[in-house]
A and B are shown apart, each in its own frame.
Chain A
Amino acid sequence: MLERGDVANTWKRERWDSLRLLTPNWQTRLPGLGYDGADPDGFMGMPELIAFLERYAEHIDAPVRTNTTVTSVSPLPEQGYLVETDDGEWEAAAVVLASGPYNRPRVPAVAASLPPELEQLTPADYKRPDQLRPGRVLVVGASATGIQLADELLRSGRDVTVAVGEHVRMPRSYRGRDIMWWLDRIGRLDERYDEVDDLVRARHVPSPQLVGTPERADLDLNALTAQGATLVGRLAAVNGATASFSGSLRNVCNLADLKLKRLLDAIDAWEGLDAGPRPEPTRVDENPKVLLDLAGFDTVLWATGFRADYSWLNVPVLDRKGEVRHDGGVVRDAPGLYRIGLNFLRRRKSSFIHGAEDDARELVEHLEGHLGGLRLEAEQMT
C-alpha cells in the first residue's frame, strides 16, 4: 500500500476543522473493526476518524509505505504495470487505484472572470471562519459541503448568500431514527451498480444536505435562510462585477422537496405505516435575485465538488470527461487494474466508509481470478 503522506492523510490535512462524518458512528466500520466507543449514534470528527483509521491500519497490520508518492502507473509491455514513485518502483501484475474520489476541488471556469479583489477559496483551503475577511460571502454550491460551510459562516456572524443548483435534501432523522439507518433498512445503500435504473445519474448524485452534529440537527436551505442567508440560483456567469444566477432556483428546490417526499413515502411504505411528518417545503423568495453586484462581497467559496486526480495514471482508461471507465471497479481494457472508492462504484454505499467492505471483497475475488489466470497461463507455457 503506497501512501503519499501518512495513514488518513486526506482527513488530516485537506479537510476543514469542524468537519464530521455524515454517517453515524455505528455505521463507520471497516472489515473486522467497528465502532466500540460510548456514542454509537454520534458522528466522528476528524481526530476520531483519524484515530479510527490508524487503529485499523494496526488492526490489519497493513503494509503501508508512507511518504511514498506515486508519480506514474503505466502498462508493462506484456502484462502488468510499472508503478513509479518518489521512493522506488514496482512491477505489479495487478494494481488497485484507491486514490480517492476527491483529490482536487472542482472550480467552474467562471472563477477566472471574478473581480480580482474578491478572495476565492475552495473547501481544500478552507479551515475555519476566522480565515476569511469579515465581509459578505458567496457560497457557490448547496450540497453537503456548501450548506455546512454556509451554516458555519452564518454562525460566525457573516452575511452569506448561497448559490443553489441541483441538490439532495434529507432530514437528519425520521421517526426517531437516523436517515442513514433508514437508507440501510430499506435497502437503498445496497442497491447495486448493475441493477440501478440510470447509473450515470446515480454516480453523479450530489452529496445529501446533511451534517453530523451532536444535536442531530437538520441542515437544509430553510435552516440557512432562518439564519439570514440569501438564496440565489446556480451561478451562471460573471460580467465585470455583476454575477448572474440561473432563474431555476424554485425548480431545483421543488425537485429536491419532491424527491425527499418520495424517500419518506418509500420508508413509510416499507414499514407499512401511514405518512409520517413531512418537512416544510423549501422557502424560496417570490423573485430571487438573478443579478448580484459582487462589489459588496469579500469572499467566494467554491463548494462545487471535487474530482479525482489521474495526472499520474499513464494507462489509457479515461473517458472524455477524465473519469476512469470501469465496471464496478474493474477498469475496462486494462486487465489487472482496479478502482475502489468512487461514488456508486458497486453500490450506493460505495462512497461511505462502510461501503468499502462489500466492494473490496468482490474486487479482490476478481483480482484473485485474474492472478490465477496469469498463473495458469504461465504454467501452460512451461
Chain B
Amino acid sequence: MSTTESAADNGVNVEALLDARNALTDAPEGAEFTWRATNEWLRGTHSKSTVEQYRGLGEEHQHRSTFSYEADHPEVFAAEDQGPAPVEFVLIGLASCLTAGVAAVAQNRGIQLQSVKATIEGDMNILGILGGDPEVRNGFNSIRVNFEIDADADADEIAALVAQSQKRSAVFDAITNPTNVSVTIG
C-alpha cells in the first residue's frame, strides 16, 4: 500500500486525507461536521434545494459556489416531473459516495483508474407511500449498485476497492443503518 512512490493519479489528495486523520485523532472535536441544505417549495411537488455552507474542523465553511437542485415527482404520480424524485436523489447520493470512495481507495492503493461507472437501482413498493398497505414500508426494499471499472488492477483488487469503498462510505452507512431524525417547526 505505497502512497508516496505511486505513479497512479486519480486526482484524489490522499496525503491530505491521511494527514487529516492523524490531526483529528489528537483533536477529535474538529472531526465533528454538520452538513446543511435548505429546501423551498415551488409549486405542486416541485421544490428547490440549495447547498452552500457546512461546518467542520471547528469552523463554518462556504462551498465554492451555491449549488441548487430541483426535485419533483414523475408524471405517473400525476406531477410535472421538473426534476428527479427525492428517492432518486438518495440513489445519486449513494452512487456518488461509493464512486468517490473507489477513487480515494484506489489512489491510496496506488491503482490507476481508467473509468468507473456505477449503475444503481432501488426497489420500492409504492403502496407504502400511498398508505395502501400498512405492512409495506415507505422506503426502498433493496438497492443494487453495479460498478463497471477499468483500472490497472486485477479482478480481486478491483473487488477489494469496491468493498472498501462501501466500508468507508457515509451514505452507505446512512442507508444501511438507522438514524434518528427530528423534524421541527419554527
Contact = CB atoms under 8 A, between A and B. Distances in A.
Nearest to B140: A247
Given A247-B176, A248-B176, A255 B167 contact: yes
Interface string A226-262: 0000000110110000001011100110110010011
A252 B172 CA distance: 13
B76 interface: no
Interface string B142-165: 110000000000001001100110
Nearest to B159: A258
A254 B28 contact: no
Nearest to B166: A251
Determine chain B's interface SS by DSSP, over half rule: helix
B183 interface: no
Contacts of A233: 176
Contacts of B156: 258, 261-262
Given A287-B142, A320-B28, A258 B176 contact: no
Interface string B79-102: 000000000000000000000000
Contacts of B28: 320
Contacts of B175: 247
Q: By CB atoms of chain B within 10 A, which of A200, A251, A254 has the most?
A: A251
Nearest to B176: A247
A236 B167 contact: no
B132 interface: no
B178 interface: yes
A197 B4 CA distance: 13
B1 interface: yes
Contact of B163 (A236, A246, A255): A255
A363 B104 CA distance: 38
B168 to A, nearest CB: 11
A246 B1 contact: no
A209 to B, nearest CB: 17
B160 A258 contact: yes
A234 to B, nearest CB: 8
Given A248-B172, A262-B156, A254 B163 contact: yes
A254 B159 contact: yes
Contacts of A200: 25
Contacts of A247: 143, 175-177
A101 to B, nearest CB: 21
Contact of A246 (B25, B143, B176): B176
B176 to A, nearest CB: 4
A252 B176 CA distance: 12
Contacts of A254: 159, 163
Nearest to A319: B25
B178 A255 contact: no
27 contacts: A197-B1, A200-B25, A233-B176, A234-B177, A236-B177, A244-B178, A246-B176, A246-B177, A247-B143, A247-B177, A248-B172, A248-B173, A248-B176, A248-B177, A251-B163, A251-B166, A251-B167, A251-B172, A254-B159, A254-B163, A255-B160, A255-B164, A258-B156, A258-B159, A258-B160, A287-B141, A320-B28
Given A197-B1, A255-B167, A261-B156, 5 more contacts: A251-B172, A255-B163, A258-B160, A258-B163, A320-B28
